[in-house]
Amino acid sequence: MYPGAHSISSPDKPAVIMAGTGEVLTYADLESRSVKLARYFRSLGLRRGDHVALLSDNNPRIFETYWAAMRSGLYLTAINRHLTPAEVAYIIEDSQATGLVVSASLGALAGEIVASTPDVLHRFSFGGTVAGHVDLDEACADVTDDPLDDQPRGADMLYSSGTTGKPKGIAPSLPDRQVGDEGDTMVHMVRDLWRMDAQTVYLSPAPLYHAAPLRTAAAIQAIGGTAVIMDRFDAEAALGYIEQYRVTHSQWVPTMFVRMLRLPADVRSKYDHSSLVQAIHAAAPCPVDVKRAMIDWWGPILLEYYSSTELAGMTMIDSEEWLRKPGSVGRDGWIGTVHICGDDGSDLAAGEVGVIYFERETMPFEYFNDPAKTKSAQHPEHDNWATTGDVGYLDEDRYLFLTDRSTSLIISGGVNIYPQEIENVMTGHESVLDVAVIGIPDEEMGETVLAAVQTVDGVDGTSELSEELLRFTGERLARFKVPRSLVFVDSLPRTPTGKLVKRDLKTQLVG
C-alpha cells in the first residue's frame, strides 16, 4: 500500500494537516507532486541506491520528498535542523548524499554548508528561493505526473542520536520490490499491531527528522489515514488539537506527558480528549508515577513499545498489562526475540540485568560504511542477534524491564547504579519538571552520583528544596542510590524525542 492508491479512491482527503495553520496536503497533491519529483530525480541521473538528504522544519512537503525517494529506490536521510552547520555537513558527507533538499525557511543554514559539502551535486529548495539551490516548484512545473513504469522501493537512512559519539547512518537493505507492494515493516506495525486504518487521525507532536514521527506518519499515509503534524510541541496546544481534529491516535515521549500533567487542573480539564483511542509512547523510559497518572487521566488507552531507529526488534505492552507489570516495556514476539546477555554473551536468568539483544532471522541493519560499529552491535556468537546498548532484565513471565544504557551506568565503590531508576523516582516530585542523573569522578569511590534538576515554573531551586528532594529520594531508594550532590539547572540537554544527551551535561557540569 502507498498514497497513490488513496489518491484514486479519496483524492481530496487530507494526507497531512498542519495542526497550527490548518494547511492541508491532499492525497491527490501528494501523489502528483511526489511522482513529478521522482521523475525529476530520475532525469538528473539519480538511481536506485543513491542518497538524498533532507533539511526542513516540520512541513507537509517533507512527505513529497519522502515518497519521491521511496518510489525511486533512493535512500533518504532526514537531518536534525537544530544541529550546527558543521554537524549537518558531517551527516551529509558521511551519508554520501549527492542530492540535498532544503526548506527555504532554513536557507541561511543551507548556505552555510555549501562549502563543506562538496560531494553534493544537486541542491534543491522548496517554499521559496535559496541561493545556489534549484527551486523544485519551477523545476517540476512541466514534468508529467504519470507514474514511472519502474518504481523500486527506497528506504530511509536515518542517523543515530549521537548521544555517545558521532552519529552514524543506519542503513537497511533496500527491499527487492516495487513501491506499494506488501512487506513494509512500518505498515505492518501501524495496521496490524496498532490497529490503525483509513479512519485514523494521527497527531504527531515531534520533529519529523526523527525515526518514529517520520516513519509512523508515512505509514499512516500508506494505509489512507490522516497525519496531523504540530510544528513544535506545546502541552496545552496539543490538548487543543486533540479536540479540534478529533484525533484518534497519537504518539508521545514521556517528557511530553510530564509537561501536560504539570498544566493547571482547569487547563487540563477544559479540552475534550474522548476521541482518543490510543496514545502510543516510546523513545525514552516512562517513570511509573507519570504513566499511572496518564492512565488515570486518559483511561487505559496507553500503548508503549520499546524499539530503536535501528529497528533491531520491538516489545509492546498495553495499559492493562502494564498495570499488572508496572514499569515494564512489554513482551517480545512482535519483532524479534529478546535475550538478556552477560559480559561473556551468555543468556542470563530471569531477574538478572544484562545487555538486551533481539534475535531476528538475519541482521536487520548495518551502520553505513562502519563495519566495526556494525560488528559491535552483534552478539559475539550469533550474527543475527543485535543490540543498541540498552540494559535491562526479563522477569519470570518474559516481560522486559529497562534499567539504562550500558554507557550511562555509574560504578561507585564497585557497585552498579542505574541513573534511570533514580530519575524515575525524582520525576515523581511535584517540584521537578525534568531531571538527569550522572556519575562524576571521585578519588575514593571512582564515581559518585550527581542529580541535575529543572524545577517547574514558579519554583526556585533553593537549598531547602535540594534537601527535600534528596530526602524524597532516600525514602524510596536504597541509600547508596541517593545522589551525593544536586544542582539546579535552567534546562537539560534533551533531543526533541526526549533522550538525554548526558555527554553534553557532563561537559557542562564537570568539564
Calpha distance 421→285 (Å, rounded): 10
The pLDDT of residue 503:
78
**What whole-number distance in Å separates Cα of residue 489 and Cα of residue 509?**
10
Report whether 97 contacts 368 (CB < 8 A): no
Kind of pairing between the strands at 337-341 and 415-417: unpaired
Whether residue 372 is contained in a domain is answered as no
Long-range contacts at 376-385 (CB < 8 A, ≥ 24 apart): 377/310, 377/312, 379/339, 379/341, 379/345, 380/345, 381/345, 382/357, 384/359, 384/360, 385/339, 385/357, 385/358, 385/359, 385/360
Cell of 100: 540535498
CATH of the domain at 144: 3.40.50.980
CB neighbourhood size of 134 (10 A): 16
Residue listed under C-alpha cell 535501528: 310
Q: Answer yes or no: is 101 within a domain.
A: yes
Q: How far is CA 223 from the centre of its chain?
A: 21
Instruction: Indicate the pairing of strand 485-488 with strand 446-455.
Output: parallel
- Structure confidence at residue 320 (pLDDT): 97
For 77, the 3-state DSSP assignment is strand
β-sheet bridge partners, residue 156:
76
Which of 168, 194, 223 finishes a domain?
223
pLDDT the model gives residue 420: 82
Q: Rounded to whole angstroms, how far apart are CA atoms 159 and 500?
A: 16
Query: Whole domain around residue 107: which residue ranges?
Result: 3-223
Q: The CATH number of the domain where 490 resides is what? A: 3.30.300.30
Q: Is residue 504 part of a domain?
A: yes
User: Which of these three, 171, 206, 223, is where a domain ends?
Assistant: 223
pLDDT value of residue 497:
63
The pLDDT assigned to 163 comes to 46
- In order, the DSSP letters of 319-343 are HHHHHHSTT--BEEEEESEEEEE-T
Q: How many domains does the chain have?
A: 2
Q: In this structure, is residue 269 part of a structural domain?
A: no
pLDDT for res 445: 75
The alpha carbon of 422 is separated from its chain's Cα centroid by a whole number of angstroms, namely 23
φ, ψ of residue 182 to 5 degrees: the values are -65, 155
Which of 178, 204, 223 is the last residue in one of the domains?
A: 223
**pLDDT tens over the chain, length 511 residues:** 678 899 999 999 999 999 999 999 999 999 999 999 999 999 999 999 999 999 999 999 999 999 999 999 999 999 989 888 988 999 999 999 999 999 999 999 999 999 999 999 999 999 999 999 999 999 999 999 999 999 999 999 999 764 445 788 999 989 888 888 877 888 988 999 899 999 999 999 999 998 999 999 999 999 999 999 999 999 999 999 999 999 999 999 888 998 899 999 999 999 999 999 999 999 877 888 889 999 999 999 999 999 988 989 999 999 999 999 999 999 998 999 999 999 889 999 999 999 999 999 999 899 999 999 899 999 999 999 999 888 899 999 999 998 866 667 787 866 778 788 899 899 999 999 999 999 988 776 778 899 999 999 999 999 999 999 999 999 988 788 899 999 999 999 887 667 778 878 888 888 6
Evaluate whether residue 267 is within a structural domain.
no
Please give the helix or strand (H or E) that residue 367 lies within, else none: strand 366-367
pLDDT at res. 405: 65
Q: Are 303 and 279 in contact (CB under 8 A)?
A: yes
Tell me whether residue 437 is in a domain: yes
**207: in domain:** yes
Alpha carbon distances (Å) from 75 to 136, 162, 172, 256: 19, 20, 9, 31
Dmax over CA atoms of the chain, in Å, equals: 72
Rounded distance between C-alpha atoms, residue 138 and residue 107, angstroms? 17
